[in-house]
A = this chain, B = another copy of it.
Amino acid sequence: MLVIGDEILSGRTQDTNTSYIARYLGTFGVDLAEARVVPDVHEEIIAALNALRARYDYVITTGGIGPTHDDITADAVAGAFGVELYEHPEIMQMLRARWGEPNAARRRMARVPVGGELVKNPVQGPPGFTIGNVFTLAGVPVIMRGMLEDVGPRLKGGKVTIARTVRVEGSGEGQIAEPLEALAKAHPDLSLGSYPFFGPEGYGSNLVIRGRDAGEVAATVDELIAALDAAGVAKAFEVAGT
């Protein structure tokens, strides 16, 4: 995933697209492997996009496809692929239906790299596009989420990852670590993570077991609770949610 935008790097805007996309992809059996945030700088976007698209099956970009001068994502994607931009007739038709003859700024939104296809926008404004293994979506979350619905079905996913959570209350990670590590070693195909919490409501850790084999994940939940109990961590129980 490539998040494009000065507003994320300045801290002005809290990115929520990454976590949404991560969860969405998960339901298609596609794992988010890396995320990068880069500024609105042509060469930076190209360099990051070329690194990511060479390495991963898919890349999703968010941000920078509006009509203003700082919306340079289409230029950068075209630059990364070494192709030109052209005004897509379908988008021009949409813009004309909405605005009459669109001004120069609005026409910018019709530009798609040669060889690209459109990604439907069911929310508001012009579509996104896809070229090669790259999907270019809007940055505004409600629009991005709408576009994503046209991305998921195009992805070739693997088996969906199952995640189950065992919550430990009143014991710190220092007490949990040993049984957790033993279980992680016994189940090399699973990923076991520990995410501590503490605050006015108490302290503890959420232990997340992730894997593609639902049976192994379920068995490991039981093994983990038993192992914690044997280690003197009595208050460990499964909770809903991933």
Residues of B within 8 A of A105 (CB): 173-178, 181
Give Cα A8–Cα B38 distance, bound, in whole angstroms: 18
Bitwise, A179-219 to B at CB < 8 A (1) or not (0) is: 01100100000011111111100000000101000000000
Of A16-24, A83-91, A114-122, A148-156, the one touching chain B: A16-24
Residues of B within 8 A of A238 (CB): none
Interface residues of A, dominant DSSP: mixed
Give Cα A31–Cα B208 distance, bound, in whole angstroms: 35
The smallest C-beta distance from A119 to any residue of chain B, in angstroms, reads 18
Residues of B within 8 A of A177 (CB): 67-69, 103-106, 108
The smallest C-beta distance from A230 to any residue of chain B, in angstroms, reads 15
Partner of A193, one of B7, B193, B199: B7
Copies in the complex: 2
Partner of A66, one of B9, B173, B210: B173
Most chain B CB neighbours (cut-off 10 Å) among A7, A102, A197: A7
- Asked whether A32 and B9 contact (CB < 8 A) given A66-B194, A70-B194, the answer is yes
Interface residues of A, CB < 8 Å — how many? 70
Give Cα A177–Cα B16 distance, bound, in whole angstroms: 26
Give Cα A176–Cα B107 distance, bound, in whole angstroms: 14
Contact residues, A1-34 vs B (CB, 8 A): 6-16, 18-24, 26, 31-34
State whether A9 touches B34 (Cβ < 8 A).
Answer: yes
Residues of B within 8 A of A157 (CB): none
Q: Does A140 contact B (CB under 8 A)?
A: yes
Give Cα A181–Cα B177 distance, bound, in whole angstroms: 55
Interchain Cβ contacts under 8 Å between A and B, 26 examples: A6-B193, A7-B193, A9-B34, A9-B35, A10-B26, A10-B31, A10-B32, A10-B210, A11-B18, A11-B21, A14-B16, A15-B18, A34-B36, A34-B39, A34-B44, A35-B37, A67-B177, A68-B176, A68-B180, A70-B191, A71-B194, A102-B174, A103-B178, A105-B175, A105-B176, A106-B174
- Taking A15-B15, A34-B36, A66-B173 as given, write out 16 further A-B residue pairs in contact, using a Cβ cutoff of 8 Å, ordered by the A residue number: A7-B195, A7-B208, A9-B32, A9-B34, A9-B35, A11-B18, A11-B20, A12-B195, A14-B19, A68-B173, A68-B180, A68-B194, A103-B177, A105-B174, A105-B175, A105-B178
